[in-house]
Structure 1
Amino acid sequence: MSELVYGTRVEIAPDDSKDATDSKVVTVEEKNVPVVDGETAEARRLFSYEYGEKLKRRADWHIMPVLVLAYLVKNIDVNMVSYVRTINVGTDHNILKALHMTSNEYSYLSTCFTVTFILSEIPSNFIIKWSTPRLHFVRIMIGWSIVCACHAACKNKESIYACRALLGLMEGGLWPGIQYQMTCWYRPDELAVRMAGLIALGLFSGVIDSVLSYGLSFISGKGMMGWQWAFVIPGIIGLFLAAWTYFNHPDWPDSPPSRRQFLTEQEGAFMVSRLPPNASKSTDSNFDWAAVKADLKTPLPWSFGLLMMLQGTGTTGLTFWLPTIIQGWGLTTLDKTVVYIIFTLTFAHFIDHNSKLPKPVYMLISLGIMIPVFVGMIFCESKGGRYALIILAYMCNAMYQTCIIPLRAQSTRGSSSAAFAYAFQNVFGNSVGLYSAQIFQSKYAPRYAVPFVVCIIFFAAAAIPVCSVWYFQRDIERETRELGVLRRKQGKKEGEVVDLEVKM
């Protein structure tokens, strides 16, 4: 590998244009601005910018379907526990009656799942480089599918507590593994719209869970109960998905030919060359403890973890109990999915292509809106108003979550750092499952004033780690936004991939 050289920097000078891509491009001399090394620059010359965009779209069609479906089925498995309790309510075929559980005892299913889930996140993701992403996902899918189906055999609360704990153990590492692989193929300024699409389409799990639980309520008493089928069916789907993933999912752009079926060797080299120097690559070591220790000594992993945990406290409990809350409010259905998907994809495309505002600003805006929204949930009496508030809350959550991965990808350094960073912050983010479901206890129904106030406090506290990330990552964040605009502008104008990179 050639040594890193420095040279002329191309900067963006904003003008009065509304579109950031219309900014003027000027060149200035600056000694400490990195230009990619000679080997990488040569690889970037293999193909034009336009052909690179075609390769990127080709990668989307080969990578995204498996990741979207994996996330979707995983959410179906995890969230089904919130919907099955509404099947055959008031009859002996209801899961609470069948397992002799109270509503508050049922809420501990979230805790059982979360304990083992967060314990397995980091160890699971540490081996993704060694096992390859494809086998990493296959292992997780097979494990969770079998355990999910085993829920149908539960006879009491102790057995379903055990199943939820095993499910958490099996599913640990899926989401940070997805985040890791995305950084192996895409730049930080290309991640938002893809991660948002993945998350938004994964939300169809709520629609599927709702429809499935409704339909299964009509078959109880004919062999297995409806709630039992609600766990068996996703388990079967997961096994078929694991088989598809094993035979079709690629690993890295420069993997051996059998694992990058849709790219030639030159195309693979080009796809790697267009990534920033800190991106995860197949040539990285399987595990670098020094990189992990260096990352832990900075404020960033702790700040990212806290901004996920504090904001997640206010949204996870609401999501867990949403079907019950809606039922208590006298609302029959809530179709927020289409609105959420449209908003999420539109916003993600905007922040991938707009360089005017730092991503932490959007996160602070989200928190600032969430607080009055939750206040409104306490006092609003109209059905239409409650519908609108819940949808607005999910839109603000989308704005917040969409910014996290592109922002974090800017500061990781190689495979070990990235694999650890995403798993570490996911541990913080998912730790809310230990207690968030207990915030919305049945004694606070139907208004849930105390739980909503608690959520508001956590939203306000989340602003502190967001500001911390913004402060310690401000230079990288700004240069990434500017370079993203410059790459697109110069690529469309000159047809080449620029040689400049963000200084790490």
Structure 2
Amino acid sequence: MASDLGDDDLTKAKIPGLASVVTLDSSQSDAAADPRAFLASFTTEEDKAIRRKVDRRFLWLIGLMYIIKNIDYQNAANVKVLQVGQPSNVLIELGMTADHYIIFEVPSNLLLKKVSPRNWQFRIFLSWGIVLACHAAVKNKEGMHAARYFLGMMEAGMFPGIAAQLCSWYRSDEMGKPIMSMFGFQNCSGIVGAVLAYGISYMDGLGGLSAWKWAIATILFFFVVYFVLPDYPKSQRSNSWLTPREQDYLEARLSENAPKTNDAEFDKSEIFASLRNPRTYSFMLSQVFLNFGGYGLSWQLPTVTTNLGFAGLPRNQLLNIPPAAASVLAIIFSGWFLSRAYLTRPAYIM
């Protein structure tokens, strides 16, 4: 009977599990040899099922990451009104700066490919949680400015890192959903932050600390990032929730210049091409105006609502919820409208 078996069959019989390896190699070779035929072998239902898997893995997690990021950075805006009139108030003259983001975001993304997205985001959450906890030692205005600068430096790579990682999982025409999710959760942070500021205000003096100096939640959340956040479609971490065929499909459907699992280097020519592309500067300008209206308002809103005099401390914190809720609804409507608009440019301008 052995004579009826070919060499490949004998090898598979002697080495357990080799058949699955051969099948995996066959799937990879099909995707590499004829990507169009490989993509055509997937039905519409399979495509939707795979993309739902990716959505479930990413959208809620990156949303929570972005909520924590905005709460941590803007907590001083919520809490500085609670310190008005206190001699130890080091928050009253604190402004919002962005120079640390400008300096450290690009180097952070250049390191992303070397370290892997999961490990780099894990580092970001751990380091900024430690820096945030160090705010408990702040005693004067100079120390507060230094602490806030290091906080921005540690968390600078989170947003661009997530955006770069999503390019490995979503096509450019599909990026609207995860980006809308991030910005939607960003504005949800105004709701969550207001409720937290109201509740934490009653912790003022607990353990000898002012209410705004509590930061244990961020340090604990880095465990979630480490164990849940994926790397790339064909990374080893993806084997637990994606089949080899699904992993090949997710990479095969991306554009040629999309970051791949086995691409550990940035192409310098693509970097210079991006710098020469007018769309880069158009996007930068749109982000500048977006941040003027978004971060500027969120930073000053607690002070404005307090000065209106409608509610005393700490109930005034709850007045920050309606504007944040309105912005979340506006983002949801904008995403729905733009996905159905025939001409998107007039809609963007509007």
TM over 0.5: yes
Relative to total residues, which structure has the larger helix share, 1 or 2?
A: 2
Post-superposition offset of 1:331: 4.2
Match in the other structure for 1:201: 185
Say which of 284, 287, 292 aligns to 2:266.
287
Post-superposition offset of 1:88: 4.7
2:162 maps to a residue whose letter is I
Distance (whole Å) between structure 1 residues aligned to residue 334 and residue 294 of structure 2: 19
1:357 maps to a residue whose letter is L
Match in the other structure for 2:77: 82
Post-superposition offset of 1:311: 4.2
Match in the other structure for 1:62: 57
Match in the other structure for 1:98: 88
Match in the other structure for 1:299: 278
Match in the other structure for 2:44: 49
Whether the 8 Å contact between 1:87 and 1:216 is mirrored in structure 2 is: no
1:231 maps to a residue whose letter is K
1:275 to 2:248 alignment: no
Whether the 8 Å contact between 2:187 and 2:325 is mirrored in structure 1 is: no
Whether the 8 Å contact between 1:252 and 1:260 is mirrored in structure 2 is: no
Higher mean alpha-carbon deviation, 55-64 vs 297-306, is at: 297-306
Post-superposition offset of 1:67: 1.2
Say which of 90, 108, 112 aligns to 1:128.
112
Match in the other structure for 1:245: 225
Whether the 8 Å contact between 1:83 and 1:209 is mirrored in structure 2 is: yes
The normalised TM-score by structure 1 is 0.58
Match in the other structure for 1:261: 240
Post-superposition offset of 1:132: 1.2
Whether the 8 Å contact between 1:197 and 1:341 is mirrored in structure 2 is: no
Q: Decide whether aligned partners of structure 1 residues 187 and 248 sit closer, same or farther in structure 2, where only a CA change above 3 A counts.
A: same
SS of the residue corresponding to residue 208 of structure 2 reads coil
Q: Decide whether aligned partners of structure 1 residues 254 and 350 sit closer, same or farther in structure 2, where only a CA change above 3 A counts.
A: farther
Distance (whole Å) between structure 2 residues aligned to residue 253 and residue 185 of structure 1: 7
Q: Decide whether aligned partners of structure 1 residues 142 and 79 sit closer, same or farther in structure 2, where only a CA change above 3 A counts.
A: same
Post-superposition offset of 1:123: 0.1
1:316 to 2:311 alignment: no
1:231 to 2:219 alignment: no
1:273 maps to a residue whose letter is A
Post-superposition offset of 1:306: 2.0
Match in the other structure for 1:406: none
Whether the 8 Å contact between 1:68 and 1:198 is mirrored in structure 2 is: yes
Say which of 154, 159, 166 aligns to 1:182.
166
Distance (whole Å) between structure 1 residues aligned to residue 205 and residue 257 of structure 2: 57
Q: Decide whether aligned partners of structure 1 residues 212 and 122 sit closer, same or farther in structure 2, where only a CA change above 3 A counts.
A: same
The normalised TM-score by structure 2 is 0.82
1:149 to 2:144 alignment: no
Give the ranges of 4+ consecutive aligned residues of structure 1 lying more than 6 Å apart after TM superposition. Answer: none
**What percentage of residue pairs aligned between the two structures are identical?**
30
Alignment gaps of 5+ in structure 2: 1-30, 312-318
Distance (whole Å) between structure 2 residues aligned to residue 342 and residue 318 of structure 1: 17
